[in-house]
Amino acid sequence: MIDFPWLTTLIVVPLVGAVVTAFLPSRPGAALPKQLALLFTTLTLAAAVGTATQYDTGAGMQLTETHTWIEAFGASYAVGVDGIALTLVLLTSLLVPLVVLASWNDADTRNTKAFFALMLALEGLALAVFLAQDVLLFYVVFEATLIPAYFLIGGFGGENRARAAVKFLLYMLAGGLIMLASVVGLYALSASQGEPSYLISNLAQLDIGTVEGRWLFLGFFIAFAIKAPMFPVHTWLPDTTAAATPGTSVLLICVLDKIGTYGMLRFCLGLFPEASDWATPVVVVMALISIVYGALLAIGQDNMLRLIGLTSLSHFGFIVLGIFVLNSQGLSGATLYMFNHGLSTAALFLIAGYLIHRRGTPLISAQGGVEKVAPVLAGTFLVAGLATLGLPGLSPFISEFLVLVGGFSHAWWVGAIAVSGIVLAAIYVLLMYQRTMTGPVQPGVETVVDLNRREVGAIAPILLAMVLVGFFPQPLLDVINPAIETTMTTVGVQDEPPTVPAGTQAEEDHQ
């Protein structure tokens, strides 16, 4: 009996859909490209659910497929999934069909088939990145994601889209070239110690010296810090989210940017544990700056799309902080945060996009009183905003809570500074809601119509998922935690045991 290739199917289905959609006749506004995109992304979601049903939460890397790719380099087509990768696969496969549905009319005046073909290609390549178990394969698909992303930003965005697309591409290529040096360095090390190989499982067994490991770590970390993004290599982020369509921003921020934090877990911690521990003090400070700085910048924004983009700078600071405090609470919280941030930020971008499409401007100062004419739009926007600021009962809360517990366990001052990010989040979210949705109806807002069935259909599953995970996160944590335990074993760290005051212990012994 031949095992079904679940992971290859996940990658191939959207890529085949991209090719089929790209070869359709060119008709702006045609319905067939949209229908095919929705069909293929739904099939991908079905394959992801099928993969999840085959997954054993306690069995490590699973459903692996390994085939020789470039024998001379020791490169393989190798894919596999653990709890961390499965979480991001489920996020990606859930969000993309909803983005397709929400973006139904975004390219009607341009090349419709190209728009949806690029979305499909981006989904397939992103899934390949999360599933790759060969470093060269990872690097190739990591860079390949830039092609559809560049054209989605530059070809279908709004004002200043060409400049934003070029800036995005230059930042990503710079990070990719730095990472390439480390990829080559790993090959040279593996060749010097025996058979050359790019398989992660083989590279993890290499005897990497302290100096070499730190240099190789930096090559990967810089690329992932740009991708995530982190302060101070984040400046492409607000320009891109302001210029791209809301659907494209969801794919970039909620899916592609997770490659950065995923890479930190998979490669920085997995291949260079000593260097990760060495870099922890600096990375923790960078993460804290990202949390506070991103939130402060968001408070001062008048452009809704730039504001939502900058909130992600703050939230990615939380994720990176959770990774590098190197304890189980922080690592589990960071991985869950990747999933939950994808949900809440996707909802914010899409609902803001609905409003901008109706008003013709992203400026917060041009809105006001929307809840009086479009209560469903305002209500869903409020739920998404409350999730973003970490309201208990919605999914991001438990993620932030775990990261904060991990931060306080690492050092009290780390947790204390991180908490300020939650306070600032309440300010920028509630101010944005107040200025756009409440108060008197501003001129022009009276013509805003409420969400239609298609738009509600694109948002409702995200809101439902936020509530379900908010009240019952344990199924996801059951998937994530075994992989986190493996990561901690690789890094060689363990949680500090709880301490009991000496006096309390003496009293218990006396009793």
Q: What single string gives the DSSP state of each residue in 147-213?
A: HHHHHHHHHH--TTHHHHHHHHHHHHHHHHHHHHHHHHHHHHHHHHTSS---BHHHHTTS---HHHH
Mean pLDDT value across residues 36-54: 93
Cβ atoms of 397 and 390 within 8 Å: the answer is: yes
Q: Is the pLDDT of residue 510 over 70?
A: no
Position 501 pLDDT exceeds 80: no
Q: What is the pLDDT, as a whole number, of residue 494?
A: 73
State how far Cα 65 lies from the chain centre: 25
Least confident of 124-138, 367-381, 494-508: 494-508
Look-up of token digits 């939130």: 295
Determine how many CB atoms are found less than 10 A away from the CB of residue 360.
9
Q: Residue 508: pLDDT band by 50, 70, 90 thresholds? A: low
CA atoms within a 13 Å half-sphere pointing along the CA-CB vector of 244: 32
| Six-digit token string for 248 | 């494209």
Task: Look over the chain and give the mean of its residue pLDDT values, rounded to a whole number.
Answer: 88
Q: Measure the CA–CA gap between 370 and 497, rounded to whole angstroms.
A: 52
Q: Are 19 and 114 in contact (CB under 8 A)?
A: no
Q: Please give the pLDDT value at position 29.
A: 65
Determine the pLDDT at residue 98: 94
Nearest 5°: phi and psi at 64?
-70, 145
Confidence at residue 505, expressed as pLDDT on a 0 to 100 scale? 53
Asked whether the predicted pLDDT for residue 291 surpasses 80, the reply is yes
What are the residues whose beta carbons fall under 8 Å from the beta carbon of 453, sequence distance 6 or more? Answer: none
Classify residue 434 by its DSSP letter: H
Indicate the Cα dihedral angle 447, 451, 452, 455, nearest 10°.
140
- As a whole number of angstroms, the distance between CA 267 and CA 395 comes to 27
Query: C-alpha distances in angstroms, 58 versus 390, 447, 479, 485?
Result: 30, 55, 8, 10
End-to-end CA distance of the chain: 63
Portion of the chain with pLDDT greater than 70, in percent:
95
